[in-house]
Amino acid sequence: MSKELATIHCDVPLTFTDEDLHYDGPDKEKLSALFDELEFRNMKKRIIGEEYAEETTSVPKTASTKASKKTDQSQMSLFGGGAEAVTIEEEEEIEGLVPRNYDTINTVLHDYHTIDTPALRKSLIQHLKKQPEFCFDTETTSLEAIQAELVGIAFSYYKNEAYYVPVPADRAEAQKLVDEFKEVLEDASIIKIGQNLKYDILVLKNYNIEVKGKIFDTMLAHYLIEPDKRHGMDVLAENYLNYSPVSIEGLIGKKSGNQGSMRDVAIEKISEYAAEDADVTCKLKTIFAPILKQNGLEKLFEEVENPLIEVLADMEHAGVKIDTEALKEFSGLLATEIVSAEKKIYEQAGVHFNIASPKQLGDVLFEKLKLDPKAKKTKTGQYATGEEILSKLAYEHKIANDILEFRELQKLKSTYVDALPTLISKIDQRVHTSYNQAVAATGRLSSTNPNLQNIPIRTDRGKEIRRAFVCKDENHLILSADYSQIELRIMAAFSKEKNMINSFKNGIDIHSTTASKVFKVGLDDVTSDMRRKAKMVNFGIIYGISAFGLAQRLDIPRKESAEIIEAYFDQFPAIKTYMDQVVNDARETGYVETVLGRRRYLLDINSGNATLRGYAERNAINAPIQGSAADMI
């Protein structure tokens, strides 16, 4: 069959001859119209001829012509204008036709200024004071805000106009200059616009400036509008403004190479780059604000997300103290345990091998020891040795359990115990994580550098790591606060499930209640195993768990898990009704909403692919609950 499919049939009747394919030159009428649309006048003249080129009736002023005039009027337009964007129409002499996908700094008329004298700074500040809102953007020496030094600040409040203020390297001089802008940045009556404003706010904290007043973060605005998309300024500019900004890699190189510092970039280049950033961000605000209003997201944006920026900035700036001696001691203990775990694995395997190598591990487990005759293989042909595979084998084979323990020990040591001390800031000897608002589509926060959310808590070893986070002195305490089963309470409220609501109102353990209902026994007769299964069902239902998924989690037959889920819905019928309604509504609208209107778009909710559709349906059930919990917290 493969050969038949690949065989070319030479007896197919043809409806044309080779003469029909002979090239007789361009269709001048269509080509002329295309060149007019693309404004390629010189090319039109060269390729089609003078008679077509002369048909053009009017030629607007070119950007280069206007730009030359702008130079003479720069002092007149400084701080005041409103320059109109025009496209360069005199295209370069080029060999081939290269389509211009986006406008750039070279094709749009702009009025960017370097504000590098006391007089100009004073004038700029006076104009900033008069604005109801302005955009600002910092250029710094580091992505780590806590140690970043200011290289400059850019401001914009008119379309296609912006002002860049260079900041000297000398710290005392820099502080003196930045202090000039303190009054306007701390003016609570002026709205501050920015892209990823938390970073800029943190950097300015290093210079004793507290940004005050309402804020508008374009990154967060887009995060609410399209939570599953990318929110970087360059991507937003291309998608919403058809504009491609100057690349930072063109200034300081790629991250993977020996990336330079913004401090080393020529003033005229960094001035254009920074001013463009502020200008683009200002334009994005005018586009996003109406969309937020149209989608009913203003309240969430203005009352939850934007105020949270300042809270997170304070938290990041404060940081947390780490007991390095405790971690050093624990690291030594883990190293000993790792060696011991290795010995146990080698003894059971009967051979020394690289346990960290998936290929060598797979060969030992499935070729030498033959633990599973039906072992799965990856696309590359080697045996799958992931956590899920080993966890299944661990019930019958001790070596699988020992390998899992070995991996846990190695991860704890490398990812946390040895890594945390390297992340301590030299400035204040504290660890400063970054809390990300615009990553998880559900609205939850995430934490990076380091990820403080993933530190284990249920194991004794994980608790040892958490014990290394300490108070800064004897006058302070660490406070632990948590919501009690918030997602289950939200599920009860959304579905109006009376049995579940009554349990919460009367302070009865919800998992015991569920077990009692599902397994049809009295509350006093609920066993720990029943409660464990009920707990898995309670939380699994929120994530749209299937009988297959529950069977895997509880390590029970699929038939039994299906019976448990069926009994659950029999006892809590309102939850089933709610889940079906949410999925049906999502099919109609294409999205689901949280209690504060945060949307999660589900592109595959009506997909013909059952796997994609099932994933979207589970998100339809989960997103409003998990997202509402995030809204409230």
Residue 425 has pLDDT above 70, yes or no: yes
Residue 374: per-residue pLDDT: 83
304-308, 467-471, 552-556: least confidently modelled range: 552-556
Most confident of 56-70, 143-157, 382-396: 143-157
Residue 181 has pLDDT above 60, yes or no: yes
Q: Within 467-595, where are the H helices?
A: 486-495, 498-505, 510-518, 528-542, 547-554, 558-571, 573-589
Give me the mean pLDDT over the 542-568 stretch: 82
Residue 307, token pair as written in the block: 């105020």
Residue 220: per-residue pLDDT: 96
CA angle, corner 435, sides to 431 and 438, nearest 5?
160
State how far the Cα of 442 lies from the Cα of 427, in Å rounded to an integer. Answer: 35
Q: Mean pLDDT score of the chain, rounded to an integer?
A: 86
Report CA torsion sign: 410, 411, 417, 419: positive
Give me the mean pLDDT over the 20-37 stretch: 85
Residue 12: per-residue pLDDT: 87
Residue type, 628: S
Alpha carbon dihedral 385, 390, 393, 397, in 10-degree steps, equals 100
pLDDT confidence tier of residue 285, bands split at 50, 70 and 90 = very high
- Which segments of 220-352 are extended strands (E)? 321-322
List, in sequence order, every residue forming a beta bridge with 377; answer none if it has no partner: 383
Residue 217: per-residue pLDDT: 97
CA atoms within 13 A on the CB side of 6: 3
pLDDT confidence tier of residue 86, bands split at 50, 70 and 90 = very low
Residue 259: per-residue pLDDT: 66
pLDDT confidence tier of residue 89, bands split at 50, 70 and 90 = very low
* Spatial strand order in the sheet of 161-166: 111-114, 161-166, 150-158, 133-140, 191-194, 215-217
Residue 533 makes CB contacts below 8 A (sequence gap 6+) with: 515, 518, 554, 556, 564
Give me the mean pLDDT over the 435-455 stretch: 89
Residue 75: per-residue pLDDT: 38
CB 455 within 8 A of CB 327: no
Give me the mean pLDDT over the 572-580 stretch: 91
Tens of pLDDT, residues 119-136: 999 999 999 999 999 999
